[in-house]
Amino acid sequence: MTEKQEIFISVDIEAAGPIPPDFSMLSIGACRADDVEGVGFYRELKPINDRFDPDALKVTGFDLEILRRDGVEPEQAMAQFSTWISEITGSEGRPVFVGFNAPFDWSFVNYYFHHFLGANPFGIGALDVKALYMGATGCAWRETRSSMFPVAKQAPEQRHNALGDARHQARLFRHVLSLTQP
pLDDT band (50, 70, 90) for residue 146: confident
Question: What order of strands is seen across the sheet that includes strand 5-15?
Answer: 41-44, 25-32, 5-15, 93-99, 127-128
C-alpha span between 66 and 95 (Å, rounded): 32
pLDDT tens-digit profile of 37-56?
Answer: 999 999 999 999 999 999 99
- Beta strand pairing status for 5-15 and 93-99? parallel
Of residues 61 and 181, more confidence is placed in: 61
Residues noted as catalytic: 160
Does 130 have pLDDT greater than 90? yes
Burial-class residue 180 by CB neighbours within 10 Å (0-12, 13-18, 19+): exposed
Q: Residue 83 — φ and ψ, nearest 5°?
A: -65, -45
Q: What is the predicted pLDDT for the residue at 181? A: 75
pLDDT tens-digit profile of 16-30?
Answer: 999 999 999 999 999
pLDDT band (50, 70, 90) for residue 114: very high
